[in-house]
Amino acid sequence: MVRKMGVYAVLGYILYGLFFYWYLFYFSDTNLPFEYEGSKADPSTFLNGRELMLSEEYSKIRNLLFFLSTPFEWLFYFLILLFGFSKAFKNWAENSSKYKLLQTAIYLIWLSFFAYLATFPLSYISFSLSKTYNISTQSFASWMKDELIDFWLNYGTWLIIVPVLYWLMKKSQKRWWLYGWLLSIPFTLFMMFLQPVVIDPLYHDFYPLKNKELETKILTLADKAEIPAQHVFEVNMSDETNALNAYVTGIGSNARIVLWDTTLNKLTDSQILFIMAHEMCHYVEKHIYFGIAGYLLISLLGLYLTYRIMNWVTKRWGNELKISDTRDIRSLPLFFMVLSMLLFAASPITNFTSRYQETRADKYAIEMTKNPEAAITSFQELTRSGLSQVNPPLLVKVFRYTHPSMLDRISMLENYEIKHRKK
């Protein structure tokens, strides 16, 4: 039975991968609808033939890697349970220490290490792909440094969460999910507060914007939006990527507006001001706080469903998966697998909400700057630098895109330009 379940799981993953390969490379149509041909959203009007070819190739491969990566984690955790590795990790931990907390730490390091090894090939392929298409300028050593920081940050975070989670399971088998969620609220807020000043600087160097003339323009815009901003931060990304970006991070007094230096190097002041006005909308309309509230709501539902699914799976296939009780640390791979599945299933909803907020920010920015030409050309440059698809396939948009497609964004701006040109 165990061997059969393993074979079915692997075959299911292969069929899933073949479906998405067929969907992305043969079935989906990324050509622009007829009515958009020749418009400013048409990539053939601002990309040359080579850039058009590369953007299609790169996007298809990158999207395939995305759809392969998350279900591969599910397969890994399933096989870890099925073939008794989780039980072995627990035995190694118990033989290494008599202290419960240290046993959990040892179990977790084994599980984390094997998970990292299993997912490393796909991560490396993604890194190599971005290097091949000249998106990434990062050296392998620098990339490995970031990978190791990710590994230890994730390990440290789970080392805090897992002992508390399983302690709650033993104290309250039926309500642990609720108590765990209540504890996650201050933890989430604390981590978001720390993000800009503790976690982000582990990866990159942040400093106040060097171009003081541009900073004055941005702060004038912020004052117009009634934002009490004193600094705009830039981050050194040119050693790692040719892509462009700007974002808002953190909460409360630690909230920051951040510009990549690649954005500063490739865009004009008027284009940057549009992007800054976009980011200011997230602050003005409190999108960060709505995002936190939405995340906490989804996490409450997710933990409850995880509790129900874990109990159901353990009762039905506990013997095959070597799990006698969900309160046993051996069930942790099942917890990770179910949680990941639920997050993936929820991504169409979270992405839709994010796209709505980003559309609001685009409209706010163009109303504030009233410079559609700068806005349109900034999005065209973002498309070129990231080799993005202007009109992505439906499933890619639904499961991947937290921002509207460039077709939607540029078309909206072009309509604004036409409408105000007539006045």
Report helix, strand or coil for 293: helix
Q: Which amino acid is at 136?
A: S
In sequence order, the 6+-apart residues with CB closer than 8 A to the CB of 55 are 43, 47, 383, 387, 388, 389
Residue 308 CB neighbour total at 10 angstroms? 12
SS3 content of the chain, % helix, strand, coil (to 5): 75, 5, 20
Known catalytic membership, residue 35: no
Classify residue 387 as left (phi > 0), alpha (psi -120 to 50) or beta: left
Angle at 29 between CA 26 and CA 31, to 5 degrees: 135
Query: How many angstroms separate the CA atoms of 286 and 279, rounded?
Result: 11
Q: Which secondary-structure segment (H or E) carries 146?
A: helix 140-171
Report helix, strand or coil for 257: strand
Beta bridge partners of 247: 258
Q: Which secondary-structure segment (H or E) carries 152?
A: helix 140-171
CB 333 within 8 A of CB 285: no
| Selection from 394, 391, 395, 374 nearest residue 383 by Cα | 391
CB 232 within 8 A of CB 276: yes
CB 286 within 8 A of CB 293: no
- Of 279, 320, 414, 417, the active-site residue reads 279
Report helix, strand or coil for 286: coil
| Selection from 385, 341, 383 nearest residue 43 by Cα | 383
| 256-260 and 233-235 beta bridge pairing | parallel
Q: Using CA of residue 63, residue 47, residue 359, residue 264, what is the dihedral sign? A: positive
Query: How many angstroms separate the CA atoms of 182 and 363, rounded?
Result: 36
CB 206 within 8 A of CB 261: no
Give CA separation, 71 vs 25, 74, 108, 122, 342, in Å.
19, 5, 21, 12, 12
**What Rg value do the Cα atoms of the chain yield, rounded?**
24
Residues annotated as catalytic are: 279
